[in-house]
Structure 1
Amino acid sequence: MDTLRTILGDIFNLEKDRAPLAEIKERIYSGGTLKGTNMCILILAIFIASIGLNMNSTAVIIGAMLISPLMGVIMSIGYGMATYDSAYVKESFLKLLFQVTLSVLTSALYFCLSPIDTASSELLARTEPTIWDVLIAVFGGLAGIIGSTRIEKSNVIPGVAIATALMPPLCTAGYGIATHSLKFFAGALYLFFINSFFICLTTFIVLKFINIPAKTYVSEHVFRRQRYLLSLLGVIIILPSMYMAYQSIRTNLEQVQVQAYIEKNFAQGNPQVVAYHLAPQEKVLDLTLIGRTITAAEETELEENLHTYSHFTDWNLHIVQNDMSGTIRAEDVKSLIDSQWNSVGGATLAETQEAAKKYKELSIRYAPAHQRFEADQKLLAAVREKAPNLFPAFTGIEGAAFATTDNEGKVAYTGFLAVITCKNALSADEQSRLQKWLDAEAGLPVTFMLKITPEQN
């Protein structure tokens, strides 16, 4: 046992390849310096990250994270705390505050000027930090300060810059200012604060562990008070992220259970579930069915089956039915063609060709309609997921693409009709933003009608 302890102690010994304390201090001070080069790079990183978020480009966002100089100032605060240099902590904090303000305002300016104001998935991903973001910040901060205190420089810092993602949340906060969205602004700043705090905290812990010398003598009482305040602040910061993680887990479990419910109760495919929508506040599961019309008794049984799932014990089931049992799907048409070819074995060549032509025309007519229906359902599901983050008044949408026939008789989809329900009226500016966003999501001109359905108290 002693041998194993010795081996493990030797493997995880941070003193072996530690750089001299004077060199560590020089590295930290150098990284926390504000100068012309750093500020130019910061502004360039802001624009690169903003463009990447705007265009939903992960590669561009990663590039911005790699060149951002924000990490150095945050580690400087941790170094000042570890050495009890209050003047240096204050100076570093003011530097970070200046960089944060510059980043947010610059990105807000970019998004105000950008013709694309649609919220990409990269922007949405940085509005609801969870406990996993806290863990990433902790492990990333530990890796960063350990790498910074080694004799040989490594590629740890670039990796930490990507993992902890300091620059994108600030640009997302700028997007929140540009679009007057408190959700984007507050959520993104909270994510940045999580990353900054835990990078700073882990820097403090590792530097104390390697016995970085204090600038002034500090009593044990002061040290205990410092640990208590840091622990208390850490708990306060973590609590909202734990709640968001709980919400995320609950949503994922609901999705898993509702899909299991659909697979079990509609396994035969007639009727077929083409769309579903969860309304947690009202505790209602909306199912859109095509195929044969189900009876009232079957609907009661389906609701009872829903109650057997732990997350839906007190939910109601709302079914929207469309009797499309006579509709020919692409797969049905293919089956009809194959059957027709098999049944005309004794027919003449002319009859065979005529039969094939008939069913090929059916396939050409109905397959695009089926594909368009599937595309419409995917679009509606995407809008239902994203719209509440962009337009808080949004509660639902129904709609479909409409088609016209060109001079050659071919069907062309030229627009999308939608009925959008909101809990309160939208301003002219909100309606304009909604119009642009829907057009971008649909890839077609969208004509929509607003339906106001106030929440019931």
Structure 2
Amino acid sequence: MEKENQKNQKTQKTKTRVSKTWNLVRNFGLKAIPIMMVRNSLFEESELTLNFLVLIISSCLIATFGLVLNSAAVIIGAMIIAPLMLPLRGLSFATLEGDWQLLRRSFVSIAVGTLLGISCSWLVGTVIGFPEFGAQVLARTQPNLIDLLVAIVAGGISGFSKIRPSLEDAVPGTAIAVALMPPLCVVGLTLSQGEWTLSQGAFLLYITNLIGINLACMIVYVFSGYAQSTELSRSLNWGFSLVLIAVLVVPLGLTFWDVLEQGRVEEPVQELINKSPLFTRKGREVSDWKIDRKKNPPEIKMAVRSTQLITPEQVKEFEDAVEIKLGKRFKVKVDVTPFIPVESPNLKAN
């Protein structure tokens, strides 16, 4: 009996310590404003208003034109005014608190903003055409684990700035970091040109950002004391977000590994190109080259301008050099464009 009482006392002490630790963490300067003030503010921000629609269309058009022009500065301007971050914070709070009214309002705003962004960019791409995608478009079609980490950190800052009104100026910065609108515009642009694979990659980046921000905001709200333990256990979105994160880790991790592998291969290949007599002799210029690792064996495709003929034997020699350098067989294809250099006649000195 005495042993059982001692065991119960130890259990009670442990629970008390855990409770004190949790209260210490929860109240360590995070909870800055009352819960109803946060809820009312998020409810107002999540409303689908004319202002929201105008900002969505404006930011979409600016981002789309920036992608067409391949201008990072123009795209950053679109990120600053994009309002999607506001209802997304409301969605996180609503799912954590079980607030169906706020959940419905924020979800509708996000859904309408998403469809409107894709539609506007698709219309622009259809009207003006987009024969070749620039670096700003292609950079948003291959998301990886780093993008997920950026979304989580930016979402945490955005959620923290909401409960700390003095930090509201941080919202534009987090909007730039996580960039919700440009991936949507890339989806529309690539769909307008029938590039389904690129569209899937850009949409995956958008979903990654949404889930990362949602999970991070929920964590901030929990540590701020806006969710009791019973509410936390009832929050389906909490577990659902973790499952989605786990699902996303697989494709994002594979893409991240592919990027690392691509970088590991590109540097030695560039070194071989710079030193190879095939491409360094006078009258030859490598204008572009890329590696297609999806082929078996992988292919190195090169665009070369040359005043002289390039023979299959010479290409084979370069293939062998690549295999020796990388320890793996690559198929080299050279697209040769013949050209004749023409100069103006030398002028005689007076």
What TM-score, normalized by structure 2, do the two folds share? Answer: 0.76
* Partners of 1:283 and 1:314 within 8 A in 2: no
Q: Which amino acid aligns with 2:114?
A: V
Distance between the aligned counterparts of 2:330 and 2:52, measured in 1? 57
Distance between the aligned counterparts of 2:38 and 2:215, measured in 1? 17
RCO (CA 8 Å, sep 6+): is it higher in 1 or 2? 2
Q: Is it true that 1:76 corresponds to 2:90 in the alignment?
A: yes
Using the TM superposition, give the Cα deviation of residue 48 of structure 1 relative to its aligned residue in structure 2, in angstroms.
1.4
245 and 316 in structure 1: CA distance in 2 versus 1, 3 angstrom threshold? closer
Match of 1:37 in 2: 51
Using the TM superposition, give the Cα deviation of residue 154 of structure 1 relative to its aligned residue in structure 2, in angstroms.
3.7
57 and 85 in structure 1: CA distance in 2 versus 1, 3 angstrom threshold? same
Match of 2:118 in 1: 104
* Partners of 2:292 and 2:299 within 8 A in 1: yes
88 and 402 in structure 1: CA distance in 2 versus 1, 3 angstrom threshold? farther
* Partners of 1:271 and 1:289 within 8 A in 2: no
Distance between the aligned counterparts of 2:263 and 2:138, measured in 1? 17
Equivalences for residues 84-163 of structure 1 within 5 A: 84-114=98-128, 117-163=131-177
More moved, 161-170 vs 32-41: 32-41
SS of the counterpart of 1:200?
Answer: helix
Match of 2:66 in 1: 52
Larger % of helix: which? 2
What TM-score, normalized by structure 1, do the two folds share? Answer: 0.60
- Give the count of matched residue pairs: 318
The superposition leaves residues 154-201 of structure 1 with CA deviations (integer Å, 9 ceiling, x where unpaired) of 421000111111111111111122212212321211111111111111
Using the TM superposition, give the Cα deviation of residue 256 of structure 1 relative to its aligned residue in structure 2, in angstroms.
1.3
Q: Runs of 5+ in structure 1 lacking a partner?
A: 1-9, 321-396, 411-457
Distance between the aligned counterparts of 2:156 and 2:36, measured in 1? 20
User: Among residues 243, 249, 257, which one is paired with 1:246 in the alignment?
Assistant: 257
RMSD: 3.9
SS of the counterpart of 2:337?
Answer: strand
Using the TM superposition, give the Cα deviation of residue 279 of structure 1 relative to its aligned residue in structure 2, in angstroms.
4.8
Equivalences for residues 6-45 of structure 1 within 5 A: 15=29, 18-45=32-59
The superposition leaves residues 363-394 of structure 1 with CA deviations (integer Å, 9 ceiling, x where unpaired) of xxxxxxxxxxxxxxxxxxxxxxxxxxxxxxxx
- Give percent identity, aligned residues only: 22
Match of 1:418 in 2: none
263 and 56 in structure 1: CA distance in 2 versus 1, 3 angstrom threshold? closer
Equivalences for residues 135-214 of structure 1 within 5 A: 135-213=149-227
User: Among residues 337, 344, 349, which one is paired with 1:399 in the alignment?
Assistant: 337
Q: Runs of 5+ in structure 2 lacking a partner?
A: 1-23
* Partners of 2:307 and 2:339 within 8 A in 1: no
Distance between the aligned counterparts of 1:399 and 1:296, measured in 2? 15
Q: Which amino acid aligns with 1:176?
A: T
SS of the counterpart of 2:336?
Answer: strand
Match of 1:430 in 2: none
Structure number with greater Rg is 1
Larger % of strand: which? 1
Distance between the aligned counterparts of 1:150 and 1:67, measured in 2? 21
